[in-house]
Amino acid sequence: MAQTRFAPDRGLTSRMVTTMFFIGLLYVVVVGVLVVLLKGAWVVIMLLAGGLFIAQFWFSDRIAAFSMGAREVTPEQAPELHGAVDRLCALADMPKPRVAIAESDVPNAFATGRNQKNAMVCATTGLLRRLEPEELEGVLAHELSHVAHRDVVVMTIASFLGVLAGIITRAALWSGVGRDNRDQNAAIAVLIVTAVSAVVYAISFLLTRLLSRYRELSADRAAAILTGRPSALASALTKVTGQMARIPTRDLRKAEPFNAFYFAPAFNKESFNRLLSSHPTLEQRLDQLGRISAQLGRS
């Protein structure tokens, strides 16, 4: 990973390594089960699994950006946004990513890319309308730290196996393969594949959620230290979270599947199970920023 001035986070690095280890182990288990059950098609399974993994790694950022409506903009089209990214990249000593805007009233931002050279930072029109320049820079610094720490690509790869397992589970349940009692072996094979895929999906989901919550706190911390203005990021968090309540539920539902990539979740209900949440609570994030502000004030 290219060095930047974003504060390193050993806790994040260790969690990313652990997550990738277990995700890789689960990936081997899924492929192994399919190879054992479908012995005659093991070559096809290996090629398909490898091809899907490579495609996910190389094209996932483009797919995510397209799905969230990101449109790359030039400095002439969005001078203030480009200016903020320019200042932050110079401050962080990192390559400037592509800059994009998504036409959405949901106030949010996200970053994609498998490395710093292929990264993209995107802000929604709703965010640009609502934030002051210092608040916007805090949010953009948060997103750039995801790129610098490379947790964006880890999250993308980590989520792939869960998606694949979910597809396998739904395909097995909907296809009706093996329901014929005359083909008992096929029925048992389908049940095993479905059960393994369901377990893998659940484990992958929990692993990515645990990593996602920590990486958001890590990005807040890195952004606050880099800019030296944790209060601006805290103000942006408070404003964005408060404005979410004014967004139509229909629009929030459209954004919800991409919560793990966003600066703030589309839904942040207090009753929502924290174990399943993609983000830490607003109170946790503000409390951390308050501590950083106090530390900076003493130094």
Binding positions for Zn(2+) are 142, 146, 216
Residue 72 DSSP SS3: strand
CA atoms within 13 A on the CB side of 99: 20
Residue 100 DSSP SS3: strand
Instruction: Please report the DSSP string for 133-173 in residue order.
Output: HHHHHHHHHHHHHHHHHTHHHHHHHHHHHHHHHHHHHHHHH
- The CA-atom distances, in angstroms, between 74 and each of 66, 93, 103 are 17, 21, 15
Q: Which segments are annotated as binding site?
A: 142, 146, 216
**b vs e for 182-205, b when ≥16 Cβ sit within 10 Å of the residue's Cβ?**
eeeeeeebbeebbebbbebbebbb
Catalytic residue list contains 103: no
Residue 174: other Cβ atoms inside 10 A? 8
Residue 60: other Cβ atoms inside 10 A? 21
From the number of C-beta atoms within 10 Å of its C-beta (0-12, 13-18, 19+), residue 7 rates as middle
The amino acid at 193: V
Rounded Cα distance, 138 and 144, in Å: 10
Rounded Cα distance, 121 and 146, in Å: 10
Catalytic residue, from 135, 143, 256, 270: name it: 143
What are the structure tokens assigned to 242, written together? 């408060």
From the number of C-beta atoms within 10 Å of its C-beta (0-12, 13-18, 19+), residue 171 rates as middle
Whether 2 and 94 have beta carbons less than 8 Å apart is answered as yes
Residues that are catalytic: 143
